[in-house]
Amino acid sequence: MIIQPRTRGFICLTSHPEGCAENVKKQIEYVKSKGQINNGPKKVLVIGASTGFGLASRISAAFGSDAATIGVFFEKPGTAGRPGTAGWYNTAAFETEATKAGLYAKSINGDAFSDEIKKQTIELIKQDLGQVDLVVYSLASPRRTHPKTGVAYASVLKPIGEHFTNKTVDFHTGVVTNISIDPVKEQSDIDNTIAVMGGEDWKFWIEDLKAAGVLADGVKTVAYSYIGPELTYPIYRNGTIGMAKNDLEATVATINDLLKDKNGVSYVSVNKALVTQSSSAIPVVPLYISLLYKVMKEKGIHEGCIEQMQRLFAERLYATDAQLDSEGRIRVDDLEMREDVQAEVAKLWAEVTTENIESISDLAGYRKDFFNLFGFEFEGIDYNQESDELTQVESIK
């Protein structure tokens, strides 16, 4: 089958096996170029391991520290005439490269919120690794079925208290418009978003892993968050998603108590704004990222997912000093939030229009990163050739 990108809004409906493999190889090459991480992890569980920060974390652990890795995610393989999801092909490529390098890599495909997948994961750890010394929590899902009650929750993306209006861009067409979003009307919308994206499931994972005896002494665990600039606060940090992120960050204290007798520690890492499947869905954010990329690339300080995660592992998680902020968080958004960077982005924000966006932003870079997520727009790949949409991953359970 010849696979071309097909989009609907901020979603790409197709993905390319060979392109996804190229994406993974480039990330592996970057991590290897940075050398080994001192005292890095050796047995790693990544929950949400198939795309974005989770995939980059798995690559950083495996190829920066020779770690054995188990990945958990929910993806779909290809069928005759229909390609699989990007995360499936990413995992196929990762496991191929890991095997070539002599590294252990197995994966579990299913609902990571469920008790069943937690049990399968624990059994695999017991069988193959014994214990893990790092647990990365990087789930990004719009809905969750609670494993104890069976109640299904759906998150919402809304401001709280006040109507929100600001600029946004259709990154496919480059048209800049104003978008208006009504605030939440029900407390349940906030509660449901916290139930999906807050810290409860992270805590459940650590509780179950500890009870099963599969956490090593000195274990570390990290989850990912975002703060961003004031212009995105109404729709993000001060909105429903921000309330969920507050809950996630507050869970650190609870998990630290759980890990105290294991000499373990938990962290939340606040990461940079990047093009991911999740961020593309948030109004205002694609425009902000396009301007941010322009400024950071000109200053020579731009990072993608793999650069962020490699730096997190090498210079924070496994450094002698994790460099926490006043709220106890790791900050690898430090370059994004530099005063000079934010001042220039704010200036461009005031100026940007449909007519000048291509010249004063890096919208072209945003588009390329978006399509790269799904394996498209990589040099050296002929997208008019037949592709193998049935790529399988033997070790996925």
Tell whether 214 is in a known binding site. no
* Max CA separation in the chain (angstroms): 60
Tell whether 140 is in a known binding site. yes
Tell whether 290 is in a known binding site. no
DSSP 68-136: EEEEEE-----BTTB---HHHHHHHHHHHHHHHTT--EEEEES-TTSHHHHHHHHHHIIIIIS-EEEEE
CB 134 within 8 A of CB 216: no
DSSP 338-379: -HHHHHHHHHHHHH--TTTHHHHS-HHHHHHHHHHHTT-S-T
Is 288 catalytic? The answer is no
Residue 136, Cβ density class (10 Å: 0-12 exposed, 13-18 middle, ≥19 buried): buried
Catalytic one of 153, 236, 318, 366: 236
Tell whether 99 is in a known binding site. no
**How many residues comprise the chain?**
397
In angstroms, rounded to a whole number, what is the distance separating the alpha carbons of residues 27 and 80?
A: 29
Tell whether 272 is in a known binding site. no
Tell whether 137 is in a known binding site. no
Pure H helices in 130-279: 187-197, 200-211, 240-259
Tell whether 75 is in a known binding site. yes
In angstroms, rounded to a whole number, what is the distance separating the alpha carbons of residues 393 and 397?
A: 9
CB 134 within 8 A of CB 44: yes
Q: Supply φ then ψ for residue 172, to 5 degrees.
A: -75, -40
Tell whether 49 is in a known binding site. yes
Tell whether 63 is in a known binding site. no
CB 345 within 8 A of CB 232: no
Q: For residue 268, what is the enclosing H or E element?
A: strand 265-270
Tell whether 164 is in a known binding site. no
Tell whether 50 is in a known binding site. yes
Q: What is the DSSP letter of 178?
A: E
Tell whether 390 is in a known binding site. no
CB 341 within 8 A of CB 295: yes
Tell whether 320 is in a known binding site. no
CB 115 within 8 A of CB 147: yes
Tell whether 101 is in a known binding site. no
The token duo for 12 is 């790409």
In angstroms, rounded to a whole number, what is the distance separating the alpha carbons of residues 211 and 222?
A: 19
Tell whether 74 is in a known binding site. yes
In angstroms, rounded to a whole number, what is the distance separating the alpha carbons of residues 321 and 315?
A: 8
Q: What is the CA radius of gyration of the chain?
A: 20
- Catalytic residue numbers read 236
Residues at the annotated binding site? 48-53, 74-75, 111-112, 139-140, 226, 245, 274-276
Annotated binding residues for substrate? 226
Which residues sit in the known binding site for NAD(+)? 48-53, 74-75, 111-112, 139-140, 245, 274-276
